[in-house]
Structure 1
Amino acid sequence: MSDNRFSSVWDAISETPEEAANLKLRAELMTTLRDYIAEMKLSQAAAAKLFGVAQPRVSDLKRGKIAQFSLDTLVKMAGDAGYEVGLTVHRAA
């Protein structure tokens, strides 16, 4: 058994640090959007209308199907929900 330690599950399942960073960002945006839908008590149909997507896409979002969403799509959806998305970039240690 390996004794590898990872700072996150995304680091453990990703082949590169860049892939892990992309997954972390998508996961954070998906969590924010799921929380927003719950907080606003939106039905999947209402959320789909707000985000300009089909209702099954909202179902995918709520079920955490991260592979179904690009970073671009999630940033757009966050903007549709009234969020401003920022990014911090720094040199790796």
Structure 2
Amino acid sequence: MMAIEVQTFGDVFDAISDTPAEAANLKARADLLSAVKAQVESWKVAQGAAATRLGITRPRLNDLLQGKLEKFSLDALVNLAAASGLVLEMKFAAAA
């Protein structure tokens, strides 16, 4: 009988990342994307109007609304959060 190695992770980003830094970047991007998406959806306006308000193209807005995380850098998401009227707050804690 072959032994199976079981690994446990704090979350999916820890599981799919090669380093803690990569996992932290993915987590921050996912949180920002989710917040901007919720903000844009709360406007209840056409995609063209939302894209104009954010200063991006409609295809780029569509990527955001579909949650295509790989298409957005942390920098781009910070800029979109500001353009959407969100205030970014950062919190830091020592690693467990």
Q: TM-score surpassing 0.5?
A: yes
- Report what 1:12 is aligned to: 15
Gaps of 5+ in 1: none
In the other structure, the counterpart of 1:57 is 60
TM-score (norm 1): 0.90
Which structure 2 residue ranges, 5 or more long, are not aligned? none
State the distance in 2 between where 1:50 and 1:81 align: 7
How many aligned residue pairs are there? 93
With normalisation by structure 2, the TM-score equals 0.88
Q: Distance in 1 between matches of 2:45 and 2:35?
A: 14
CA drift at 1:42: 2.5
Q: Which residue of 2 aligns with 1:34?
A: 37
Runs of 4+ off more than 3 Å: none
For residues 23-82 of structure 1, give each alpha carbon's deviation from its aligned partner in whole angstroms, at most 9, with x where no partner exists.
111101111111112211132211211111111111111111111101111111111111
What is the deviation of 1:2?
3.5
Work out the percentage of aligned pairs sharing the same amino acid. Answer: 42
- Higher-Rg member (1/2): 2
Q: Distance in 2 between matches of 1:32 and 1:42?
A: 17
